Copies of this chain bind each other. A is one copy, B any other.
């Protein structure tokens, strides 16, 4: 490759990001990304690490000491939660009603776990009573895992009943909050969640690349008492906790620029206030869902359990999935997401997350759809 055939200047089109993440990003976060890098052991950076942990605790609504961003995307956070507390032969119970529940079952089995599935139809919540019954039967389970906001279907799983059922038991409660964190109520401590991971590119409106995680003392106790080594060196929280904790022992070189971005985005989230932010997501989501109703498009997720930040909508007969999404992108600059797994070609997933969660954006999409399909 010579200088002559190098790719040209970076010049992406402007997009309104209404897919299942990434979401639109505040200019202050871009400014943070462009801030000159300092070293990962610089005393000023160490201060920022503490600031990030503190703000993450506020957003997760937890006092958990180990509350940190993992240096990978949301899926690395999923893997982190499993590899650190699951040992070969452990029984784990997993609620599966979408792609991300399936993914958790896959990750758990790669840790050598015996996976017990609680399956439910996609687009419906898993009945908490049914979960508690199963967990009573499998009282030897190392953990129960479920997705709070299933990005593949658009439903919100209730967590409190299961959390309080598990609080006095040995089984850990693991929750995927990739799509919910920063967009709707999530009370890690009050709800008895022991391991929780998220992503940055959804309701926090940071580019993809980091995965905030938080672990309760109960989870850390299991980590400390395991008999085998954590199978992933990169995700081993024993070592990572020594870098984020007081010792500051080097583990890997932290992704400085992305952490700048996360720090700025968390400031923006907390300046707005969690309640106000959740309300903004609720209003925007409701407005969009009403709008789809007026267009005559059916919603996919169970009524009363619909996510505000991700609307799953059934494609009307005759509407071509790929071609129409391409047209939205090319002619209107709007990205929406297609279906994933068994809903591919049948639904769209429309995000109103973080900075994107505004009525105006819903209007932009609905107007475009009226022109194209109306």
A residues contacting B by CB (< 8 A) are 1-3, 6-7, 10, 12-15, 17, 19, 21-22, 24-25, 30-45, 48, 51, 54-55, 57-58, 71-76, 78-79, 103, 106-107, 109-111, 199, 201, 207-209, 229-235, 250-258, 260-261, 263-264, 267, 270-271, 273, 326, 329, 335, 340
Contact = CB atoms under 8 A, between A and B. Distances in A.
Contacts of A208: 40, 253-256
Contacts of A329: 42-43
Contact of A110 (B57, B230, B273): B230
A78 B6 CA distance: 28
A3 B37 contact: no
A253 B33 contact: no
A233 B79 contact: yes
A128 B198 CA distance: 46
Contacts of A264: 10
A213 B62 CA distance: 37
Contacts of A107: 233
Copy number in the complex reads 2
Most-contacted residue by chain B among A21, A208, A254, A271 (CB, 10 A): A208
A251 B40 CA distance: 29
Nearest to A261: B257
A253 to B, nearest CB: 4
A322 to B, nearest CB: 11
Given A30-B35, A30-B36, A201-B253, 9 more contacts: A7-B51, A7-B55, A10-B264, A21-B253, A37-B207, A73-B255, A110-B230, A110-B231, A258-B258
Contacts of A261: 257
Given A10-B260, A17-B39, A255-B209, A232 B3 contact: no
Nearest to A233: B107
A207 B252 CA distance: 13
Given A13-B38, A21-B253, A54 B234 contact: no
Given A12-B35, A253-B208, A257-B258, A7 B42 contact: no
A280 B103 CA distance: 47
Contact of A209 (B1, B109, B258): B258
Contacts of A36: 12, 14-15, 25, 30
B34 A30 contact: yes
B58 A1 contact: yes
A207 B39 contact: no
B22 A39 contact: yes
A37 B13 contact: no
- The 10 residue pairs across chains A and B that have the minimum distance between CB atoms: A209-B255, A1-B58, A34-B34, A207-B257, A7-B51, A75-B252, A33-B33, A208-B253, A30-B34, A107-B233
